[in-house]
Every structure is written in structure tokens, then in C-alpha cells.
Amino acid sequence: MRTALFSLTTVLFDLIILSNEVAAQPENENSAKSYFIKKELTTGVVFSFDANREELRTDGSYNFEELENAALHFRWKNQNWNYLPNRQETWSYSVEAGPWFGKGDLIDSTGVEVIDAEQERTGLRGMAHVNYSSRFYFDKKNYTLIDIGAWGHYDLFRQNVNGTRIDSNQVMSSYDDTSGQSNLRYGFRAKAGWGIGR
């Protein structure tokens, strides 16, 4: 009995008086000094489909265009990650090129005439994208952020338009037009900031 009481007292004394702080998962002092560097190059064929609709109304005109596009492009993309203790960077650039096809409706209405037709487009498309993002950490709680991106799309295509034309005297006639056209679109974005956290 005395032995059991002595053992119980010793266990309680150890738990209450000599208790030490115990962590279920010890802190990794080297966690802030980890490195991750990777470079990835991907190539392949990409099929895409999209539907576009544009409408413009003014006092003297009405323009409407609806187009469904399908494209088959070859893509070449390079992507890089560079994660260091005080800096995280990612950058990528890609190039795509290939044929595309579009089909839809077209309405061009002015005070002189109204054209209501179906249109078909076939051509080549080229695209380029560039992105860069960086975080610089002053300490464990403060960082600055820079994010920059640019893109450009160029379409070279042939457009066939077939439909009807109504002139200002309400005379209806057939409308048929074939033309070669090009379209260049581009954009740029940039942002910078300061943040708290890791």
C-alpha cells in the first residue's frame, strides 16, 4: 500500500512540478531556408472553341456580329520557378500558332442600307504571352509584390459573307462579299504592392 501511494505521489509530483513544454511537432528552424528551383518546357497541340458576340448601337447605325471559332494550335511554353528564402519569382512565356475557322451572323445597318448575312472566316492565328511575378520578403511578415504581363494576338484570315441587302428604297438584293483581312490585338498589365504574411 505504501509503495503504491509513493508511486502515485511521485507521478503526480513529476506531472505538476517538473512538467516540461512538449510540442507534438517540433519547429523546423530551417523551414525559412528552403529552396525550390524548377524549369519546365512544354510543347503540344491545343484545340480550342469559343463563341463571341459584339453589338454596337448609335443614333445612325446598328452593327451586330456573332461568331463561333474553332482553332488548332501548336503551343511552345517555357515556365520557371525560383523560390529562395527571401525572394519568390515565377516567369513564363509562350507562343502559339495554327489555323482557325469561324462561322456566324452579321448585321450592318445604316441609314443607307441594311446587310443581313452569314459569314465564314478561315485563316491563321499567332499568339504570344509573357508573365513575370516576384515577391521580396523583408522579414517573416512583410513583403513587396510585382506582377507584370503582356500578350498579343494576330489573325490573318479570309472572310466570306453571303446574305441580303436592303437599300434606302426598300429594294432587296443578294449580297456576296469575299475579302482578306487582318486583326491585331494586344494588352499589358502591371501591378505592385506591399503585403503582410508569408
Provide the 3-class DSSP secondary structure of residue 59.
Answer: coil
> What's the pLDDT score for residue 42?
92
- Note the pLDDT of residue 33: 63
Domain membership flag for residue 17: no
For the chain, percent of residues with pLDDT exceeding 90? 51
1 domain residue, yes or no: no
16 or 109, greater pLDDT: 109
Extract the runs of DSSP E, i.e. beta strands, from the chain: 36-57, 61-84, 87-110, 113-137, 142-167, 172-196
Q: Is residue 169 in some structural domain?
A: yes
pTM > 0.75: yes or no: no
Give pLDDT, residue 198: 61
CA distances from 62 to 88, 102, 108, 110, 115 (A): 50, 22, 6, 7, 10
pLDDT band at 21 (very low <50, low <70, confident <90, very high): very low
Residue 121 domain flag: yes
pLDDT of 142 reads 80
Q: Does residue 79 belong to any structural domain of this protein?
A: yes
Number of domains in the chain: 1
What is the predicted pLDDT for the residue at 76? 96
* pLDDT single digits (tens) 59-105: 888 899 999 999 999 999 999 999 888 888 999 999 999 999 999 99
And the C-alpha cell for 152?
Answer: 498579343
Does residue 11 sit within a domain?
Answer: no
State the residue for C-alpha cell 485563316.
123
Confirm whether 26 is domain-assigned.
no
Q: Cα(156)–Cα(45) distance, rounded to whole angstroms?
A: 20
Candidate from 78-82, 101-105, 177-181, 193-197 with smallest mean pLDDT:
193-197
Structural domain that includes position 176 = 35-196
Report the pLDDT value the prediction gives residue 7, as an integer from 0 to 100: 53
- Of 6-15, 57-66, 144-153, 159-168, where does the model show the most confidence? 144-153
Model confidence at 20, pLDDT cuts 50, 70, 90, reads very low
